[in-house]
Amino acid sequence: MATLVLFHAHPDDESIGTGGTAARAAAEGHRVVLVVATGGEHGEVPDDLAPEESLVERRRAETERSAAVLGIQRVAWLGYRDSGMTGWEQNTDPRSFHLAPLDEAAERLAAILREEEADVLTCYDWHGNYGHPDHVQVHRVGHAAAARAGVTEVWETTMNRDELRRFMDLAREAGAPEEELFDPESPMDDGNPMGTPEAEISLRVDVSAFVDRKRASITCHASQVTDTGMFLSMPDDQFQLAFGTEWFIRPGAAPSPDGPVDGWLLPSA
Ligand SMILES: [Zn+2]
Protein backbone atom coordinates (compact mmCIF):
# COMPACT_ATOMS: atom_id res chain seq x y z
CA MET A 1 0.00 0.00 0.00
CA ALA A 2 1.17 3.50 -0.80
CA THR A 3 0.97 6.87 0.95
CA LEU A 4 -0.68 9.67 -1.00
CA VAL A 5 -0.23 13.27 0.13
CA LEU A 6 -2.69 15.83 -1.24
CA PHE A 7 -1.39 19.39 -1.00
CA HIS A 8 -3.99 22.15 -1.12
CA ALA A 9 -4.19 25.90 -0.56
CA HIS A 10 -7.41 26.37 1.42
CA PRO A 11 -9.97 24.36 3.36
CA ASP A 12 -12.52 22.98 0.85
CA ASP A 13 -10.06 22.79 -2.09
CA GLU A 14 -9.47 19.14 -1.13
CA SER A 15 -13.07 18.12 -1.66
CA ILE A 16 -13.72 20.00 -4.90
CA GLY A 17 -10.36 19.24 -6.50
CA THR A 18 -9.35 15.78 -5.30
CA GLY A 19 -12.23 14.44 -3.19
CA GLY A 20 -12.80 11.50 -5.53
CA THR A 21 -9.12 10.61 -5.69
CA ALA A 22 -8.86 10.74 -1.89
CA ALA A 23 -11.92 8.54 -1.40
CA ARG A 24 -10.82 6.05 -4.04
CA ALA A 25 -7.29 5.80 -2.62
CA ALA A 26 -8.63 5.30 0.91
CA ALA A 27 -11.12 2.68 -0.28
CA GLU A 28 -8.24 0.76 -1.87
CA GLY A 29 -6.41 0.71 1.46
CA HIS A 30 -3.80 3.41 0.79
CA ARG A 31 -2.87 5.98 3.42
CA VAL A 32 -4.13 9.43 2.47
CA VAL A 33 -2.76 12.60 4.07
CA LEU A 34 -4.08 16.11 3.46
CA VAL A 35 -1.80 19.13 3.85
CA VAL A 36 -3.47 22.55 3.78
CA ALA A 37 -1.27 25.62 3.35
CA THR A 38 -3.57 28.27 4.83
CA GLY A 39 -6.41 28.62 7.30
CA GLY A 40 -8.75 30.10 4.68
CA GLU A 41 -8.90 33.37 6.65
CA HIS A 42 -10.60 35.28 3.83
CA GLY A 43 -13.44 32.90 3.17
CA GLU A 44 -17.07 33.69 3.78
CA VAL A 45 -17.95 34.40 7.43
CA PRO A 46 -21.05 32.39 8.32
CA ASP A 47 -23.95 34.01 10.22
CA ASP A 48 -23.86 31.38 12.94
CA LEU A 49 -20.26 31.94 14.02
CA ALA A 50 -20.17 32.01 17.83
CA PRO A 51 -18.63 35.12 19.49
CA GLU A 52 -15.61 33.15 20.71
CA GLU A 53 -15.26 31.15 17.50
CA SER A 54 -12.95 32.25 14.66
CA LEU A 55 -13.52 31.55 10.98
CA VAL A 56 -10.25 29.59 10.97
CA GLU A 57 -11.50 27.34 13.78
CA ARG A 58 -14.76 26.77 11.96
CA ARG A 59 -13.01 25.93 8.71
CA ARG A 60 -10.58 23.59 10.44
CA ALA A 61 -13.46 21.69 11.99
CA GLU A 62 -15.20 21.52 8.60
CA THR A 63 -12.02 20.23 7.00
CA GLU A 64 -11.63 17.53 9.65
CA ARG A 65 -15.18 16.37 8.93
CA SER A 66 -14.62 16.46 5.18
CA ALA A 67 -11.41 14.46 5.61
CA ALA A 68 -13.21 11.85 7.71
CA VAL A 69 -15.90 11.51 5.02
CA LEU A 70 -13.22 10.96 2.36
CA GLY A 71 -11.19 8.47 4.43
CA ILE A 72 -8.23 10.85 4.84
CA GLN A 73 -6.26 9.71 7.85
CA ARG A 74 -4.36 12.86 8.73
CA VAL A 75 -4.86 16.57 8.17
CA ALA A 76 -1.76 18.77 8.56
CA TRP A 77 -1.65 22.58 8.38
CA LEU A 78 1.36 24.55 7.13
CA GLY A 79 0.24 27.56 9.19
CA TYR A 80 0.21 30.33 6.57
CA ARG A 81 -2.50 32.92 6.05
CA ASP A 82 -4.85 33.06 3.11
CA SER A 83 -3.52 35.69 0.64
CA GLY A 84 -6.93 36.63 -0.79
CA MET A 85 -7.60 36.99 -4.50
CA THR A 86 -5.20 38.91 -6.77
CA GLY A 87 -5.26 42.61 -5.99
CA TRP A 88 -6.78 42.35 -2.51
CA GLU A 89 -5.05 44.36 0.21
CA GLN A 90 -4.49 41.10 2.14
CA ASN A 91 -1.93 40.21 -0.58
CA THR A 92 0.61 42.34 1.29
CA ASP A 93 0.26 40.53 4.66
CA PRO A 94 3.75 39.16 5.36
CA ARG A 95 2.18 36.03 6.91
CA SER A 96 0.33 35.25 3.69
CA PHE A 97 1.21 32.06 1.89
CA HIS A 98 2.06 33.61 -1.47
CA LEU A 99 4.72 35.79 0.18
CA ALA A 100 6.27 32.89 2.12
CA PRO A 101 9.92 32.28 1.16
CA LEU A 102 9.96 29.25 -1.13
CA ASP A 103 12.64 27.42 0.88
CA GLU A 104 10.83 27.89 4.16
CA ALA A 105 7.43 26.75 2.90
CA ALA A 106 8.93 23.86 0.94
CA GLU A 107 10.77 22.64 4.05
CA ARG A 108 7.54 22.65 6.09
CA LEU A 109 5.90 20.41 3.50
CA ALA A 110 9.03 18.32 2.93
CA ALA A 111 9.18 17.50 6.66
CA ILE A 112 5.69 16.00 6.40
CA LEU A 113 6.59 14.11 3.21
CA ARG A 114 9.61 12.58 4.94
CA GLU A 115 7.71 11.74 8.11
CA GLU A 116 4.96 10.08 6.08
CA GLU A 117 7.41 8.42 3.65
CA ALA A 118 5.14 9.79 0.93
CA ASP A 119 5.03 7.86 -2.33
CA VAL A 120 2.88 10.25 -4.34
CA LEU A 121 2.23 14.00 -3.99
CA THR A 122 -0.41 16.09 -5.72
CA CYS A 123 -0.18 19.86 -6.17
CA TYR A 124 -1.64 22.29 -8.76
CA ASP A 125 -0.87 23.23 -12.34
CA TRP A 126 1.44 26.20 -13.10
CA HIS A 127 -1.27 28.86 -12.67
CA GLY A 128 -3.13 27.15 -9.86
CA ASN A 129 -6.12 26.45 -12.13
CA TYR A 130 -7.42 30.00 -11.96
CA GLY A 131 -4.61 32.26 -10.85
CA HIS A 132 -5.31 32.55 -7.12
CA PRO A 133 -1.95 33.59 -5.62
CA ASP A 134 -2.12 30.81 -2.98
CA HIS A 135 -2.86 28.21 -5.64
CA VAL A 136 0.11 29.31 -7.75
CA GLN A 137 2.23 29.03 -4.61
CA VAL A 138 0.96 25.46 -4.05
CA HIS A 139 2.41 24.61 -7.46
CA ARG A 140 5.81 26.11 -6.62
CA VAL A 141 6.04 24.83 -3.05
CA GLY A 142 4.75 21.37 -3.99
CA HIS A 143 7.49 20.82 -6.55
CA ALA A 144 10.21 22.31 -4.33
CA ALA A 145 9.17 20.13 -1.38
CA ALA A 146 9.05 16.97 -3.48
CA ALA A 147 12.59 17.65 -4.68
CA ARG A 148 13.80 18.14 -1.09
CA ALA A 149 12.11 15.01 0.21
CA GLY A 150 12.98 12.86 -2.80
CA VAL A 151 9.37 12.26 -3.83
CA THR A 152 9.48 11.57 -7.57
CA GLU A 153 5.79 10.85 -8.18
CA VAL A 154 4.25 14.31 -8.43
CA TRP A 155 0.97 15.03 -10.17
CA GLU A 156 -0.66 18.40 -10.78
CA THR A 157 -4.42 18.58 -10.44
CA THR A 158 -6.15 20.68 -13.06
CA MET A 159 -9.49 21.39 -14.67
CA ASN A 160 -10.13 20.28 -18.23
CA ARG A 161 -10.92 23.47 -20.13
CA ASP A 162 -12.37 21.64 -23.14
CA GLU A 163 -14.62 19.57 -20.92
CA LEU A 164 -15.86 22.75 -19.21
CA ARG A 165 -16.70 24.20 -22.61
CA ARG A 166 -18.61 21.04 -23.56
CA PHE A 167 -20.60 21.28 -20.28
CA MET A 168 -21.45 24.89 -21.04
CA ASP A 169 -22.57 23.96 -24.58
CA LEU A 170 -24.77 21.19 -23.21
CA ALA A 171 -26.25 23.50 -20.59
CA ARG A 172 -26.95 26.15 -23.24
CA GLU A 173 -28.66 23.56 -25.46
CA ALA A 174 -30.72 22.48 -22.46
CA GLY A 175 -31.92 26.07 -22.14
CA ALA A 176 -29.81 27.31 -19.22
CA PRO A 177 -29.97 31.13 -18.95
CA GLU A 178 -26.83 32.88 -20.28
CA GLU A 179 -26.13 34.47 -16.87
CA GLU A 180 -25.60 30.99 -15.37
CA LEU A 181 -23.00 30.13 -18.01
CA PHE A 182 -19.42 31.27 -18.31
CA ASP A 183 -16.89 31.16 -21.09
CA PRO A 184 -13.99 28.85 -20.08
CA GLU A 185 -11.76 30.66 -22.59
CA SER A 186 -12.22 34.02 -20.86
CA PRO A 187 -9.34 35.24 -18.69
CA MET A 188 -9.49 34.72 -14.92
CA ASP A 189 -8.06 37.38 -12.62
CA ASP A 190 -4.45 36.54 -13.53
CA GLY A 191 -5.22 36.94 -17.23
CA ASN A 192 -5.19 33.20 -18.06
CA PRO A 193 -8.25 31.11 -18.81
CA MET A 194 -9.29 28.46 -16.27
CA GLY A 195 -7.60 25.07 -16.10
CA THR A 196 -5.66 23.40 -18.89
CA PRO A 197 -6.51 22.49 -22.50
CA GLU A 198 -7.35 18.80 -22.77
CA ALA A 199 -4.41 18.18 -25.12
CA GLU A 200 -1.98 19.09 -22.31
CA ILE A 201 -3.54 16.85 -19.66
CA SER A 202 -1.91 13.48 -18.94
CA LEU A 203 -4.40 11.53 -16.93
CA ARG A 204 -8.13 11.03 -16.62
CA VAL A 205 -9.03 9.44 -13.29
CA ASP A 206 -12.40 7.78 -12.94
CA VAL A 207 -13.87 8.56 -9.53
CA SER A 208 -17.48 8.02 -10.56
CA ALA A 209 -17.98 5.41 -7.83
CA PHE A 210 -17.02 8.02 -5.22
CA VAL A 211 -19.07 11.09 -6.18
CA ASP A 212 -21.41 10.54 -3.22
CA ARG A 213 -18.41 10.83 -0.88
CA LYS A 214 -17.26 13.89 -2.77
CA ARG A 215 -20.66 15.52 -2.48
CA ALA A 216 -20.80 14.69 1.23
CA SER A 217 -17.37 16.21 1.77
CA ILE A 218 -18.31 19.41 -0.08
CA THR A 219 -21.38 19.58 2.18
CA CYS A 220 -19.08 19.56 5.22
CA HIS A 221 -17.77 22.99 4.17
CA ALA A 222 -21.13 24.55 4.99
CA SER A 223 -19.68 27.96 5.91
CA GLN A 224 -18.58 28.49 2.29
CA VAL A 225 -21.99 27.97 0.77
CA THR A 226 -21.68 30.87 -1.72
CA ASP A 227 -18.78 28.98 -3.31
CA THR A 228 -20.13 25.47 -2.99
CA GLY A 229 -23.90 25.99 -3.18
CA MET A 230 -23.89 26.01 -6.98
CA PHE A 231 -22.28 22.54 -7.03
CA LEU A 232 -24.52 21.14 -4.31
CA SER A 233 -27.67 22.34 -6.07
CA MET A 234 -26.84 20.25 -9.17
CA PRO A 235 -29.10 17.27 -9.78
CA ASP A 236 -27.32 13.93 -9.18
CA ASP A 237 -26.79 13.11 -12.86
CA GLN A 238 -25.25 16.53 -13.56
CA PHE A 239 -23.07 16.29 -10.46
CA GLN A 240 -21.90 12.85 -11.56
CA LEU A 241 -20.98 14.24 -14.99
CA ALA A 242 -19.12 17.24 -13.58
CA PHE A 243 -17.37 15.55 -10.64
CA GLY A 244 -17.01 11.90 -11.65
CA THR A 245 -13.67 12.54 -13.33
CA GLU A 246 -10.53 14.18 -11.95
CA TRP A 247 -7.71 15.41 -14.21
CA PHE A 248 -3.96 15.37 -13.62
CA ILE A 249 -0.83 16.57 -15.38
CA ARG A 250 2.44 14.66 -15.12
CA PRO A 251 4.97 17.48 -15.27
CA GLY A 252 7.86 16.90 -17.61
CA ALA A 253 6.13 14.10 -19.48
CA ALA A 254 4.72 14.81 -22.92
CA PRO A 255 0.97 14.14 -22.93
CA SER A 256 -0.34 11.49 -25.28
CA PRO A 257 -1.23 12.86 -28.75
CA ASP A 258 -4.65 11.27 -28.22
CA GLY A 259 -5.27 13.36 -25.12
CA PRO A 260 -5.59 12.25 -21.49
CA VAL A 261 -5.03 8.55 -20.79
CA ASP A 262 -7.32 6.64 -18.42
CA GLY A 263 -5.29 5.74 -15.38
CA TRP A 264 -4.63 6.08 -11.69
CA LEU A 265 -2.02 7.68 -9.45
CA LEU A 266 -1.38 4.69 -7.23
CA PRO A 267 -0.50 1.02 -7.57
CA SER A 268 -3.67 -1.03 -7.91
CA ALA A 269 -4.59 -3.17 -4.93
ZN1 LIG B 1 -8.40 27.59 -2.80
CA–centroid distance, 173 to ligand 1, in Å, is: 31
CA–centroid distance, 174 to ligand 1, in Å, is: 30
CA–centroid distance, 10 to ligand 1, in Å, is: 5
Angle at 159 between CA 20 and CA 122, to 5 degrees: 55
pLDDT of residue 9: 98
CA–centroid distance, 44 to ligand 1, in Å, is: 12
Nearest C-alpha neighbor of 19 from the set 159, 212, 198, 197: 212
CA–centroid distance, 16 to ligand 1, in Å, is: 10
Long-range contacts of 13-18 (CB under 8 A, 24+ apart): 13/135, 14/63, 14/66, 14/67, 14/70, 14/72, 14/217, 15/66, 15/70, 15/214, 15/217, 15/218, 15/220, 15/221, 16/218, 16/228, 16/231, 17/129, 17/157, 17/246, 18/122, 18/157, 18/246
Neighbours of 154 (CB within 10 A): 22
Domain coordinates in residue numbering, the chain:
3-159+193-262
CA–centroid distance, 221 to ligand 1, in Å, is: 13
CA–centroid distance, 53 to ligand 1, in Å, is: 22
CA–centroid distance, 265 to ligand 1, in Å, is: 22
Domain spanning 3-159+193-262: CATH 3.40.50.10320: yes
CA–centroid distance, 55 to ligand 1, in Å, is: 15
CA–centroid distance, 139 to ligand 1, in Å, is: 12
What span, in angstroms and rounded, lies between the C-alpha atoms of 5 and 154? 10
pLDDT of residue 120: 98
Tell me the pLDDT of the chain (269 aa) as tens digits: 999 999 999 999 999 999 999 999 999 999 999 999 999 999 999 999 999 999 999 999 999 999 999 999 999 999 999 998 888 888 889 999 999 999 999 999 999 999 999 999 999 999 999 999 999 999 999 999 999 999 999 999 999 999 999 988 988 898 888 887 888 899 988 889 999 999 999 999 999 999 999 999 999 999 988 777 778 888 888 888 889 999 999 998 888 888 999 999 998 75
What span, in angstroms and rounded, lies between the C-alpha atoms of 87 and 83? 10
What span, in angstroms and rounded, lies between the C-alpha atoms of 100 and 163? 34
CA–centroid distance, 37 to ligand 1, in Å, is: 10
CA–centroid distance, 247 to ligand 1, in Å, is: 17
CA–centroid distance, 105 to ligand 1, in Å, is: 17
pLDDT of residue 3: 98
CA–centroid distance, 238 to ligand 1, in Å, is: 23
CA–centroid distance, 232 to ligand 1, in Å, is: 17
CA–centroid distance, 9 to ligand 1, in Å, is: 5
CA–centroid distance, 142 to ligand 1, in Å, is: 15
